[in-house]
Structure 1
Amino acid sequence: MDLSLTLRDLAPGSGVSTIRVFSQRWLAALLWAATFSLCSAAEPPACPEWSPARAQKEIAQLGTQIETWDHAFYVEHRSLVDDAVYDQARSRLANWNMCFPMVAHNASQSPVRYPLSHPIAQTGLDKLRDVAEVRRWLALREDVWIQPKVDGVAVTLVYRRGKLAQMISRGNGERGQDWTHHALVIPAIHNSIPDRREELVLQGELYWQLDGHIQAESHFNARGRAAGAMASNNLSEKQRLSLAVFVWDWPRGPASMPERLSALKTLGYDTSPYTHPVGSVEDAQKWRELWYRQPQPFATDGIVLRRGDRPEGNSWQAQPPTWAAAWKHPAISALAEVTGVEFPVGRTGKIVPVVTLAPTQLGDREIRRVSSGSFQRWLELDVRPGDQLRIGLAGQTIPQIRDVILRATERAPLRIPDPHQYHMLSCWRPTVGCEQQFLARVHWLGEQLEFRGMGEARWLSLLEGGLLPDLLAWSELSSRQLTRVPGIGDKRAEKITDSFQRARELSFYHWMRALGMPAASSFDEHFWRRETFASLVDRDPEEWQNFPGIGASRSQEIVAFLQHPEVEQLQRKLSGMGISGF
């Protein structure tokens, strides 16, 4: 059960008396404690090590941000943040409130006036977090059915004597806004139905129709599109034709699910193709996966499990029931707290800052590190420890920073390298400030020369042991010297020295690529068979540009590399070692 979802669903005036009896200061702390005591055996998050003054600033800032999101969501019908990030922000605020109760901030929602009462309360849905929770939920219930959790805006349709009388937004679950004038011009919503009872109430999701939508491959903001249409004074032709309703329940309808589905079909709202019985967690997984990865006519954000024999509608309340729950699709974003920033310097001198995070669950993965993409982007974001980031997955696999949700109120100092000091021809030796780029160079060289058993950690051990004063110092190491390095025994040392010796027999191309010559792989095998270091040096930039794919900039880089004093010194040493081409 996820009580943070309930917080978003409980707008002012919801009538939930159990909430109102507590002071605002303790509300979030109470719900936070309930979440952990009722929902899981997870350890509560650790409290930040803040002074009272900083705690007050951090809590107030997060509370204000949540209030901004709430105002946009409830008043302007705009969703500024994914549900997962919102829920995590609410949970984080509750945790901070518990840690620092004297400066707690409740993040109250903006007051919204809802003119119409729902004939039957709109319930929320607790969220099941994973397969284990779904299995436990199913084990305690019978007659369970599954539907896609269509991503739109919840509505109530009220028919009186067969005529559409009202369409009411979900609002706070007990009262909502009057959207009837829009409903009357949407072709997919029937103005009349073949049932003439005094009042007939349906609940469902107003959604934006899509053609062959695959949720796993697209993050189209369908809910925002539907909500935006409802916020307009008059629907455009495209909006009228694009909107439809997925009826998920008939609160006072037939008692059993098969009977309700049959009767709904008669009314013109056939949801039977998307409503199926489930007897196991495997059944639920099958349908969830199908609706996530196969083309559908609407966007979804998960599945809904509900009992077919749920209570009659008059007993429903504006809060999550025990007879229905949601299992959402893998989150597309998450709120992550920054714990540090690293500035690794690569072989070519490029600096791509890496942000370390408190362990953050994103879909089925735990994320602890994320690249900033480039030094320039890090500068623009100015990410520091304590910041709260929104992260997502690029191409479903690579974590990336979407944006900074909140900046720490106290900016942590960082040792930031000057990117202008590092370039393709810097750091050929491990001098102060050059250790990272030098290690990247020697690691690249080892990979190109096919050294066995020489990963980054082992090169670092050699460097720390004083055995790597330059890029080719390894060639003079004996097995005895290697065994003095922690983690290298006699057999490992023999394998490493064998690799070192075999490298001497590799081609001139292998060696030039290992040294880092720009565009070395752009030239074919025939080129390298007839070249030597001297012949490469003899060419001027214009001659290099005669080769396919070599422009003015690249030709200058090649010449600068070949004429660099450190490269010339390496050439002399390689010549003395008898390496081909030097």
Structure 2
Amino acid sequence: MDKQIAQERVNELHELLNQYNYEYHVLDKPSVPDSEYDRLMKELYELEAEYPEFKSPDSPTQRVGGEILEAFEKVQHKTPMLSLGNAFNEQDLRDFDRRVRQGVGDDVQYMVELKIDGLAVSLRYENGTFVQGATRGDGTTGEDITENLKTIRSIPLRLKKSLSIEVRGEAFMPKRSFEKLNQAKIEKEEEPFANPRNAAAGSLRQLDPKIAAKRNLDIYVYSIADLGETGVIKQSQGLDLLDELGFKSNKERKQCQSIDEVIDFIQSFQEQRGQLPYEIDGLVVKVDYLEQQEKLGYTAKSPRWAIAYKFPAEEVMTKLLAIELNVGRTGVITPTALLEPVRVAGTTVQRASLHNEDLIREKDIKLGDYVVIKKAGDIIPEVVNVLEEHRTGDEQEFQMPINCPECESELVRIEGEVALRCINPECPAQIREGLIHFVSRNAMNIDGLGERVIAQLFQEKLIHNVGDLYKLTKEQVIALERMGEKSTENLLNAIDKSKENSLERLLFGLGIRHVGAKAAKTLAQHFETMERLQNAEFDEIIAINEIGEKMADSIVTYFEKPEVQSLLDELKTLGVSMSYNGAKAVKAEESDSYFAGKIIVLTGKLEQLSRDDAKAEIERLGGNVTGSVSKKTDLVIAGEAAGSKLTKAQDLNIEVWDEARLLEELKK
């Protein structure tokens, strides 16, 4: 076969195989038997082997998984992938409808779609060819998982039109694939996945695409990130366009003319969700007309034109077999219920949170009790109540120990706190949990350094504090269980790269009591270097907005400890960044906003903005939002049902705005 004929045949095979793949995986209407598809695919493989210059990235042969990746590259989303606000009942939906109609009038249509329980992804095409796929990540930055997404056969590698477009969708694992995968894991004596969502996410974050190719994932595409010149004016029209381009969209959707129609549609799926071949955890309601979406706009976190209705938590009965005690990084002793395995909301549950001793006493929970458990928000299992009618008399009272289950030190209850606490700074559990916290995503974000590896390193006495992580050698790491040459190299590179992190990540990772991720960023923005923060006095710290007395006291006490000073000196010597390298906070003197330098109080219920969003917007413009009204207060913004704060403001002749006035000022 000469080259010209070979190239023509390759192009013909591309068209045939893409069409057959679309019919089978998107339309669910195969037009040829599997044997014919396999025969044509074999022919294409052979032609590409003989003429490698004809192999292209959008070839059907590229779905099987390429080379093993060293790491996932970061991807900046041109259009942010925002999360949705939640509705948990009918009233929440009606409140959403009222806010929408206040914003755009009563002529509103809604598009209601199933909320697939999977992993949100973005797919980018150039001139009709799939060029990049990414995870949602934090909404602004995701991970490049292109090679893994290519293994999902319902994702077209080439569109039916040569458009340059970016679309969003939900990758998921069908129930049948999930059951098959977990059965295989059980047979190999491996830990099964907890639910299809975790299985899908775990599959798409494999560095070896061949693993993802074996998992039989699927996808539903639900939106176009940038409509550009498509001419689309409605969400429903956008879904139709996605179908025309060869994407797989979920046909279980409905255009509704009223919120009553929306509620009826939601109720119908609440009853039949268990019969679907995939997991859903609710439905998404969107204003259909894009012009109205644009008018309604966004909060800092989510669009005002859409809301996710989450199904109520499912409750089931099971038996409480034992109570396990865990020691956290701050020494708090947390009891966990160990249960007879039971299915709840699509997953098997064997553990549930009990929070603390007081809750066990309040609910009169005894060992051997039959209890009702639920998954709050379909995520965290918790014990709701005890079924006393099932008691036989054999149940036993649970007694909290007086000594730490890990180090045997005497436990204490600090005044004003509910929890028992181990205050031994050398408690192995606290050190281990502190190390796990230090490497976690919101802290130093060291890929590959999970709980299992930390536990091994700690057990082998290779690490005792966070500074030891930066002294690890290749010989030490590669000797660990399941650590090969490549994974060792990747881990050491990730540890080294974390040295460049901005100051707020280090501050949060150190686990200073009462200092969360947000407070760590506030401190980093204000002081800019670790040295300045270390030398700061209580009055300087408490003067910062959002830093209270308890947190300021904790920070000063922490940096006074000789062992902390020694650790920070060591980290600095090891090359860990001690400086803030993010965007500076807007200072009052640098802002020309009305809010700059003013002390503002929010009270009552806002309709268009959440309190957190309003606070964030005001502070972004240089304002200082506080929780109480005083003579120093410059402005009070009062929402619905504002109470004593509004009364006090009026008594002190302080200026009062409603939400409409606030929104007007924010738009300037």
TM-score range, shorter chain: 0.3 to 0.5
Name which one, 1 or 2, has greater alpha-carbon Rg.
Answer: 1
TM-score scaled by length of structure 1:
0.40
